[in-house]
Structure 1
Amino acid sequence: MAFLKQIRAHGFKSFADPTVLDFSHDMIGVVGPNGSGKSNITDAIRWALGEQSAKSLRGGSLDDVVFSGSSDRPALDVAQVTLVFDNSNRVFSTIDADVVEVTRKFNKKTRESDFYINDERVKMRDIQDAALETGLTKSSIAIISQGTISTFAEAKPEARREIFDEAAGVAKYKKRKRETTAKLIKTMENLNRLEDILTEIARRLPNLEKQSRKALTYKEKIEELQKYEVAILSRDVKFFKTKIEQLRVQRDDLTEKVKGLSNEINFSEQEFSDMVNETSTSEKSMVELNTKFNDLVQRISDLKVKKNDAENRENNQNKNAHADEIKAKQIKKEFDEKSINLQSEKEKQAQWNNRLTEIREKYDYLSNKFEQLYAEIETIRRNAMRLTVEKQSLEKQQSSNTFGGPYAGSKAVVSHANVIGGVIGTLMSLVQVQEKYQLAISVVAVGTMNSVVMKTTDDVKRAIEFLQKNQAGKATFLPLNALNPSVIQGPQRIAISQQPGFVGFGNDLVNIQEEYRKALDYALGTIIVVNNYDSAVALAKTINYKFNIVTMDGDRILPHGAIMGGNNKNQNIFTQSQRSEHNLEDNAKLIQRYEQSELEKNQEINEIKNERDKARDDINTLESNMRVSVDNFNQLNNQLRGLSEDYRIITGKSLNPNDKAHGGELESIKFAKEIAKLELERDNIQIEINTLSTSKNKYADRQKELNQQNSVKRKELNELKDELAAVTAELNVIHVRNTEALRRLAENYGMTAEAAMAMEEVKFDNEAEVREHILQLTADLRDLGNVNMESIAEYEAEKERHDYYLAQTKEIREAVEKLESIIHDIDIAMETQFKKVVDDVNEALPEAFRRLFGGGTARLIYTEPDNILETGIDIQVNPPGKKISNLNLLSGGEKSLVALSVLFSILKARPLPLVILDEAEAPLDPANVERFAKYIKHFTGETQFIIVTHREGTMENVDVLFGVTMETKGITKIVKIKLIDAKKLVEEEI
């Protein structure tokens, strides 16, 4: 049976070139000179199956397995060996495949080792476990060298036992026993730790129970106190509320009355004041009229004198005519000049008036514009403030989406990257994902996308210390120097990519800088994206539910078959982040526009303010000029009236064109008419004086009446104010008491008035007794002294811990018993199987011994028959014609034959799929070599043999020969050869 079908090696030891050995026969010979690399084939098999000992591989360190170079060839960095096995008989029972490829790869530069079974990356332990199933282990007989033969023959019985353990399959039991014993030790440690904890808890429980009982008493009394005090306070608040409403109504009614009466008094006082003013005005008018009356009397008297003088002058008309004419001309000239000046002042006033109107209109317009702009600026500021609040809310929301909840630690680390050092950023910040893939990637990587990518594990240590020191949460870190991500690759990757509905592998659908590729592979290296649910289910079945599969709609099929799906509307972490960023950008732009608009409006309002101030200055200047002009106008007008009067007196004519001409009327007649006119005016003034005197008396009577009325109203007002003050004072007292009750509810019981009144009402008849009971409860609470309220929870927690640990202790004791039982069962199984193998070997050994020795007998014996688990194995032999009591008395060749007979007997009892013989027959003479080679053929039906040899007898009996040479120094070359060529190779060595 050809179990090992092929060996592929490249870079391993002397295999500098890619080398392929096809083993399709049951008995294979490998020949070649010493130093050509024959044994490197055996080393390659052992190394690929997980051998870790450099010494066992004939090297000083693991680096020695990599081709170190020669004079003509540079050294290589990578060693790789692949073993191809026929698994149609399911020798590898845990691998459901007809062909099993085991690959080991070592990179000397990176110090990284990779292991694969059928192109799937695995751990070294997986390969070593697989090797256990084949028997290809360090201590088994699957690999037999010349050293193994001599060691076995000369070994102490205890050391010789190891091969029988392997043959019996005891190795896996020993491994289980070691693991179970380790579990037992750990479990016993846990049991001891739990018993220590229980002892400590039991020590604390009595005191905690005492404190807890005291706290419960306190709690009961405080709850009873609360019940009654809240009831009293609730009743007080309810009473105060009703009383406050009543007093407010009473206060408001009194306030209205006070206000109404005050208004009446104010009206009366205003009327009184008006009467006083009217009286004063009447008195003033009477004074003025009396003055005018007296003036008229005087003027009439003066005119009468003038009339007499005029009559005298008329008698001498021509006496002074020439002098009056000259004076009249002078007056006329001065009158004309002042008239021109008066007209000029009128024109100036008209211009200034128009200008004032324009400027006032402009000032009003600018003032309105100023108010409008100020209102606009206030609106802009309010909008900007609203947007700023929205921005802060958006920033807070974005922080929550990106780093809230469980990702606060990530945010803290990224925010303090300059303090910590080595922080690259969250994985999400380093990737770019096309929109169509964002939902699928979000669903499978929402957690890892918030992980923090770090340069080294030392940087991670600093970050963790920072989070611990600042109590800033937790974070997941991806140190680039330590990540060893799993990625789907090889034939499996190709096969998956050809499945219907396949979209891509997660790490291929996301862009990232190459230096951060490890972090992306860690997050998405084993993620497969497909187009829909049906494709996902079909692919999952094909790959035996091995990897994470996600659809474009966000539905997932997890390894081992669990399915997650449903509404994924808000799962896209990328659009959430982008939407928040866009909203923040729009918000920032709006704020910027508002700030710019405010700046422009402020500039405009400053310009308008300057214009308005200038307009106000112009108005002040024009008003000042107008006042001066009006004064000048009035002065000129008065002067013109005087000149006109003088001219009229001299000439009898008026200089004012609006006055009617007197014609040539005699002056005495004019004075007579003037006297009559003034006398009429005097009489009218007398009538007016009499009327004012009557009104003055009426005003005095009304003032007296108002004084009397106001005196009564003021008394009534004072009474109302006193009543209002009393109601207000009572209301304030009730307010204070209500506030105190509400404060006690809030501070003592954390309750509002509504909550207190909503509680179930406590019925009691005698409020005084309740208040007395409250005082008693307060005293009881004071007598209890210091109370540890936390002791209730502490006692319950400790009691719960005690019960929990008690149950745990029971479970662990049961686990200890179970583990001890398992170890006992393992011991029985090992003893049974070991005895069975020794018995089977003893049954096969006599025949094997006779065939190899040509006669004689041999048997295995226990060194400690009563201790099968620890006993050594000794060998009693009787070669033909000899009686030997000790193996050391045999020759080297005989020792080898003894060892081979035992090893072949083991193989007979427990067949192995593959045995490698590395010059195992070297010590034998030609006749024994011939017997050795022919005897091997008895096993080839169940076992494949690879024999490294230089003995002709062996070469003649193998199915196929491989020649190993070093045509180039340091580089092994292997070819199939014929027997004659094999002999030449051996002769060359000789």
Structure 2
Amino acid sequence: DSVLIEGGTDPENALLLLSRADKGRAVLLPVDWTRPMDELSVPEAEGCLGTAIQLVQAPEHLRNILCLLLGQVLVVRDRPSARRIAKGIPAIARIVTLQGEVFHGTGVVIAGPENRSSTIGRPRRMQELQGSLAESEGRVKEIQKRLQETEAELTRQRTNEREFENAVRQAVQTMSQANQAHQRAVLEVEQVRQRHEYQSRQLAGLDGQIQRAEQEQRQGQAEIEKNNEKIADLNEQVREHNRKLGSLPIDELQSQLVHWNTTVAVAERALKDAERRLTEHRESIAAGKRQAESLRLRLTEVMNSQTQLEAEKSSLHEQENKLNLQIEELRQWIDPAEEQLHGYEKKYGEQQTNQSTAQQAVSVAERYSNQAQMELTRVRESLDSLRRRIEEDFGLVALEYNPEVSGPTPLPIEGMVEQLPELTELAPEVEDNINRQRAQLRRMGPINPDVQNEYRSVKERFEFLTNQVVDLKKADADLRQVIGELDELMRKEFRKTFDAVAIEFKSNFTRLFGGGSARLVLSDAENPTEAGIDIEARLPGRREQGLSLLSGGERSLTAVALIFSLLKVSPTPFCVMDEV
């Protein structure tokens, strides 16, 4: 925190301002008061870039100030170069790396980022942050207003879009209905045309049938005439034969009569057949005429219906043309609406982009505001820390409070504090001594006044736990002794019971099988409580074998012998056995 005071200006005003107000502590650099200082010589070493005063440019009248601030500062590339050069520089010199690390000639090293802000620039920074915060809030309000207007416009556009969609939907439905009516009309015309063609073919077939019937009628009429002529000839021949018959003998006449009667009967039958066929031809001709008349009537009806369908078709064509005109009008109305909708969507997208940008700006402003709040909190904490350090270093001292600065109200301790003399500067040895004492205090850490009480409580806790551990070890030894005694007692009792059951089992086995022998064997005689029990049996007339080699009935009798042995050694009030 340094303040440059130009030449011809008295620094006393700045000193009075710093002493009267709570503006923090600062370094004043009066141009008229500064004295020239020798620059640090640049060593010939690798990584050394030169002194800091050689790397900056400034007016000549500020040369003394620059020499005071930067004349004893060397700039190097990296930390190893700084460590090599730091061994040969004076105690007041400093070495700065390009990473911001500072190596003092006294051996002190300062590293890490600088997080605190300057005391003099803090009010200006707070004002700037408050101004940016107010500007951000104004922008947020403006963006929110624009967002509301955009949402209202978007709502109106959506309403118009829904109306357009409804109109388009109705137009599409009307066009679909017209297309369906046109398709039905075309289908009906096609059906009428097909019926007309079918009826025309039937009419042509009936005309052919009528012509064939008339031809057959003419042929039948010709045959009737021929038959009539034949009948007349035959009658003439009959009369001729009758005349001849009067002159011929009776037998020959009778035979000829029979012959001619037969011929006449045949001719009459042929005549009847011809008349029947003539009648049938006449009936068929009448039926054909009736059918032709009905077909003519149907043809007239079909022609009338075709005329009506043609009229309906022309009216449907007119309706179709009208619908097409309406569709074209709707399209001419829809296209600008779609373009307008596209424009509104584009504007909506731009509004959304602006909204997101505004939200980002709001987020940045909020972040700046939070940072400003955190910076303000940190500054207040640093002020409190400085006050505490001053009180720790110098005792209770009087501090001047500015009523314009916000903060806690000072306590009424006027009669309890010490008024220290005002000093313009500290001697270098005093400042170095203070720095060394502070470093020692930091290394020592904070003092805990309750450490003795904590030691006593921890010691009592340790003694209590030690006694508890001793008691637990003694209880563990007693329990192990009891467990050993119980194990020995269990081995004895188990061995006693096992021997008794083995004797009874051997007796019962021999009694049930009528001979033979069996015995119970422990798998581990040294540890009977954890060992298994095997049965070795020898049936009458057979060698000794295990239980698994016996048959089912033999194993059942062996089990019965073992159960009886257990019941005999340890009787029970009653025993129920089922399917042994």
Q: Tell me if both proteins adopt one fold, taking TM over 0.5 as the criterion.
A: no
In the superposition, the TM-score normalised over structure 1's length comes to 0.22
User: Which one scores higher on RCO, CA 8 angstroms, separation ≥ 6?
Assistant: 1
Greater gyration radius: 2
TM-score by length of 2: 0.35
Greater share of strand? 1
